[in-house]
């Protein structure tokens, strides 16, 4: 294929993703678990499978790893036995796949850049939310109309707002990083709570350090997993997951407070004050309830769980590294800026949402073998009611941590501080590629 000849695909660039040709043989939200590109299962003769381990204590595990007697996959099996998360020392798969795709299809680099359409869509969504809030100004919290509109319109619209801010955090709305920061503050208005400025640095760290036990605030903490890995706990998590995603980062790490944070707070509080002063408290309550419902038992909220949770733990063999990330190719991507194409997004965080389906088409041989979900609603259902699925079902990395007495020991504070550095023109890449939005 000619390096920059994308004309054969242009008729396929639409705002719905194209579903991979092959589909998993197992139920849609319980995908198969093939190995990532560079991983291999433990051999059947290994003495370190979870069913026949010769190591009976954390001290023995630590000694075996310290003396180098274990392979990486054997370390994975042992740590999964010692801790209920899926611990691995393997590199996250997205960097490897990105480099391979770029070698096989160098034309994908032309997909990088901004998407001007985003600002027009979110402006309409913000206007819709304010119009609905105004319409409900004389309603009450006991009104069926209030809750129906908050669920159908408000939650859908605010999930769209959340994910627009997600796009802007990767500098995919405007050429200048500052313009993305400022427009995200505007998009934040119907959320009712200042959010956009704090979301960006945590999210970019999530991209750069996917699964990192110290740095990835998207991972559930051990306390969450211990307390909530039962039916009642999972139902509670699914109901209030928006609160977990909003509050957890502050307990994982504290990032510097910037002028953008201050501006986000001032603008939001001023907008809330004007709204309440002009039309009473109900419009603001409508915004807050829209936030809550958008991250609760709502079909679009399924993406929070679907992106990185393992929903088929019984199919994960001992010593096998399960996939970190899962995609979804259904129609709900229309409302969420194609966030369902999550493998594609993590592989190329500098490709905007309108061009992710094209990436799937061009690099189809890389994405067709990967497991994917067919229903976000089914994901929520399985997460809550499948007894084998819990908050422990996440891949965690300790590749740069030390292992002592069977437990992961946090790296030095200076390394943590280095990991927190997020440049204003950062789009979430790990620095291995030279593609940058500023080239557009």
Do residues 90 and 39 touch, judged by C-beta distance below 8 A? yes
179 vs 321: which has the higher pLDDT: 179
**What is the mean predicted confidence (pLDDT) over 96-106?**
96
pLDDT digits (tens, 9 = 90+) for 251-294: 888 888 999 999 999 999 999 999 999 999 999 999 999 999 99
Q: Which of 101, 66, 37 is nearest to 361 (CA)?
A: 101
pLDDT digits (tens, 9 = 90+) for 336-353: 999 999 999 999 999 999
The full set of domain ranges for the chain reads: 55-440
pLDDT digits (tens, 9 = 90+) for 110-137: 999 999 999 999 999 999 999 999 999 9
Of the ranges 28-32, 39-43, 297-301, the best mean pLDDT one: 297-301
**What is the mean predicted confidence (pLDDT) over 77-88?**
62
pLDDT digits (tens, 9 = 90+) for 378-416: 999 999 999 999 999 999 987 443 333 333 333 333 344
Distances (CA, A) of 205 to 22, 57, 173, 297, 344: 32, 34, 20, 27, 18
- Give the Cβ contact number of residue 389 at 10 Å: 23
pLDDT digits (tens, 9 = 90+) for 43-55: 222 222 232 233 3
**Predicted pLDDT of residue 84:** 77
22-44: buried (b, 16+ CB within 10 Å) or exposed (e) per residue?
Answer: eebeeebbbbebeebeebeebee
The one-character DSSP state at 212 is: B
pLDDT of 86 strictly over 80: yes
**Predicted pLDDT of residue 428:** 58
Mean pLDDT (the chain, rounded): 79
Percent of the chain with pLDDT over 70: 71
């Amino acid at each position: 294929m000619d390096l920059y000849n994308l004309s054969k695909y242009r008729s396929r660039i639409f705002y719905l993703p194209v579903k991979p040709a092959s589909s998993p043989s197992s139920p849609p939200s319980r995908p198969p678990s093939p190995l990532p590109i560079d991983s291999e299962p433990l051999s059947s003769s290994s003495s370190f499978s979870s069913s026949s381990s010769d190591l009976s204590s954390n001290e023995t595990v630590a000694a075996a790893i310290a003396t180098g007697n274990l392979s990486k996959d054997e370390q994975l099996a042992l740590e999964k036995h010692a801790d209920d998360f899926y611990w691995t020392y393997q590199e996250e798969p997205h960097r490897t796949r990105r480099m391979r795709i770029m070698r096989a299809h160098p034309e994908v680099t032309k997909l990088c850049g901004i998407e001007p359409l985003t600002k027009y869509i979110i402006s309409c969504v913000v206007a819709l939310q304010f119009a609905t809030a105004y319409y409900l100004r004389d309603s009450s919290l006991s009104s069926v109309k209030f809750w129906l509109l908050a669920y159908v319109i408000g939650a859908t619209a605010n999930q769209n707002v959340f994910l627009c801010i997600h796009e802007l955090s990767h500098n995919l709305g405007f050429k200048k990083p500052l313009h993305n920061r400022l427009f995200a503050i505007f998009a934040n208005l119907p959320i009712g709570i200042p959010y956009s400025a704090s979301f960006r640095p945590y999210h970019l760290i999530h991209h750069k350090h996917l699964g990192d036990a110290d740095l990835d605030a998207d991972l559930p903490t051990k306390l969450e997993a211990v307390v909530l890995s039962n039916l009642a706990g999972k139902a509670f998590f699914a109901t209030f997951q928006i609160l977990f995603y909003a509050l957890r980062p502050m307990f994982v790490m504290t990032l510097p407070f910037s002028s953008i944070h201050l501006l986000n707070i001032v603008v939001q509080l001023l907008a809330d004050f004007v709204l309440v002063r002009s039309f009473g408290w109900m419009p603001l309550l409508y915004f807050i309830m829209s936030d809550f419902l958008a991250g609760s038992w709502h079909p679009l909220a399924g993406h929070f769980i679907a992106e990185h949770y393992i929903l088929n733990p019984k199919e994960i063999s001992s010593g096998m590294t399960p996939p970190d990330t899962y995609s979804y190719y259904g129609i709900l991507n229309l409302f969420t800026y194609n966030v369902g194409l999550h493998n594609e997004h993590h592989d190329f965080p500098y490709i905007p949402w309108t061009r992710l389906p094209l990436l799937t088409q061009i690099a189809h041989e890389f994405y067709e073998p990967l497991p994917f979900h067919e229903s976000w609603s089914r994901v929520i259902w399985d997460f809550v009611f499948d007894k084998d699925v819990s908050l422990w079902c996440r891949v965690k990395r300790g590749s740069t941590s030390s292992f002592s007495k069977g437990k992961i020991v946090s790296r030095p504070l200076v390394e943590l501080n280095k990991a927190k550095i997020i440049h204003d023109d950062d789009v979430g890449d790990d620095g291995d590629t030279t593609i940058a939005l500023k080239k557009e």
